[in-house]
Structure 1
Amino acid sequence: MVTNQEKLAQPKLTQPGTRANKEVMRLAASWYIAMPSLDLGKKPIAIELFGQPLVAWRDQTGRAAIMDRYCSHLGASLAVGQVVDGCIRCPYHHWCYDSSGECVSAPELEHIPPKARQATYYTIEKYGYIWVWYGSKVPLFPLPEFPSAEAQRHKYMAFRYAYATKTTVQRVVEAGGCDYYHAISLHNFKMTNPSQFTIFNNQDSANDSEPVIQKEAYLKFQLKVWNRFMFEHNLLGPIAQILGLSADTFTFQTDIWPSGCRMTGFADNNEHETLKVLFCTTPINENMTIAHFFVMLRKTGNFLLDIPYSLIYRLRSRIISDEDISVLDTIKHDGGGAYIYQDRGVLEHRKLYQRWVDKVE
């Protein structure tokens, strides 16, 4: 559940805002990224999210609001309206709505019709993104924390990237956080020993510096691999090895929730993590999902190495994303069935995802 402080800071919502076709979208109740914070300025913008036409805008405090795009009066687009006195004003008849979706004023009307409301979503702005809760009137679990992006930012080199793909949230999260098996085949990672994949029953089972996520909303995986997994890709492996940036073993710890995950990587059993990744999704419609990655690489302590280190990892991320897109754009949304032992992470996430699909109101 959300904290009392978050409840007080959030405007009272007029409707749950979960009118997407449940059978078509099959979205889990969860946190999703609406857009990067920098994409929303002072003017309203039209967006599509959850298969719905919406409008995003900022009130007088700068808080992001996301609601139905078309005015409850005669259907004019609020995206071409203006923000006036902290409310979004319809361009047609100048009806004004506050950030909770309530119509607070309309020219020459003493009594505003009860139906003069816009369905509005619960939003939080954090880590450089505008997040939106889908599935119920108020969030059923808090936004997972990523404290390294704030208090410890000076220790890392950070970059963001995103890609769009023609498939579902579930498939994108599987590829980004659960399916280590495809790294060997699709991404051609070479391993001298069999990888070790562990599913933890609770978050305390692994040595983790990240805050706990609500138990019923997440899974915890650990993957240990050998032979310079981090950079063993085309020419990047030899270059990284020459620069002294390779590692003999690499361990990933992943906290995964229905719509994204938080990953921490350790090289050669180092007590300090090598990288941290925040990964989440934007469900545009049933055939389009955007994957967002916020990557933080721990600085090496040598400025001359930090630059090539960051460039190599960025290039590696781009190559891997392109390879994933080539498959995800053509994958069958509900295909498969001949499961093997290496699929247990995917299958565990599918059970988690379905539990939260069932929670959608």
Structure 2
Amino acid sequence: MVGIDTQAEIDAIEAINAVPEILQVVIRTTGLRFAAVARVTDSHWMACAVHDLIDFGLRPGDELVLESTICNEIRQHRQPVIFGHASQHPVFATHHTPLQYGFESYVSIPILRSNGEFYGTLCALDPLPSTLDAEVISQTLGLLAQLIASNLDLHERLQHSDRALQSERETAHLREQFIAVLGHDLRTPLNAVRLAADLLEQKPLDDAARRLAKLIQSSAARMGGLIEDVLDFARGQLGEGVKLALEPHADFAHWLHQVVAESQAGKRGEPIRVVIDLPHAVNCDRARIGQLLTNLLANAITHGDPEQGINVSVGVQGETFTLAVRNQGPCIPAEDLPLIFQPFTRGRGGQPREGLGLGLYICAHIAKAHQGTLSVTSTPEAGTCFTLQFPLTMAA
């Protein structure tokens, strides 16, 4: 350990309200007139709390040369050291520590953290010799040392919790700022671009200028879609989730036919085949389900065989709403299936793709928000099929 954070070590011990009383119990139990909690590392000895009746001269934050202390030896063997008359002791009569600091009586108990880490010692000393009951002192002060260690562990956990809470607050603040930037600061100028393009198209323009106006409109629309995707991604990643406006829709089948028709307008080859059987109203967020279906159809149009066509089936199985989009074409590799709903995931093949690779990720979160699932299967025989299922009666 290269250094020691003096104030942090003192604060950790001061956070234990019982430490002053613990030091008084040490003095009453041992009869010695100086007691301390010492932080001992492989390079430092520092007093963190002191109860001094003999003006020994140590205050919280004061340090001793590590090698001059008995605590350094305790750090290595982790056993209590107790003696009441150093000058007559077979070992400590010639030991450098009692000679240097001038004490006869000494008690030091190791403080061990729950993970086995050596923290320091609970110690007491006196210049006068004393008769010490080593067994009673070892047991009593050992319990007090365990109490200090347990409180240090608790203090550390509370610090970790405080840091985690602060991190969550910062994340929440970042989420609010990020969503505000997407929701307002980017969409506001983009709406101005769209409006300007619409006004420009109403002017008498030559063919080249009209093509440019339409290009601005289509690019602005695509940018708006990207912003919405990133906004949904941010809500999903930062914990807010996809928000829903749930209500029963008796005309839900008509709405889905309209979504398919819009996707069909940009598709070449075989038409999209649709089978919808909804005997009653469906409680859902119609716009979000439309967004999901649009994304699945765009995915099928991009990756499927245009000559094979796309099948959309919608119905009710028991108390479960089911929507499936199936296309023929290259299969999704088996190793890619577990990753298909991850953000920024794209199909293989080396061809450049539009978008950010967030479509299926957002679809999965729309399904989750409806308390349902979005699954995928892909085989050469059956093709690739994405299936949405959610309960018709959702819990609040």
By the TM > 0.5 criterion, same fold?
no
Which protein has the bigger strand share?
1
Q: TM-score, normalised by structure 2?
A: 0.20
Q: TM-score, normalised by structure 1?
A: 0.22
Structure with more relative contact order (C-alpha pairs < 8 Å, separation 6 or more): 1
Which protein has the bigger helix share?
2
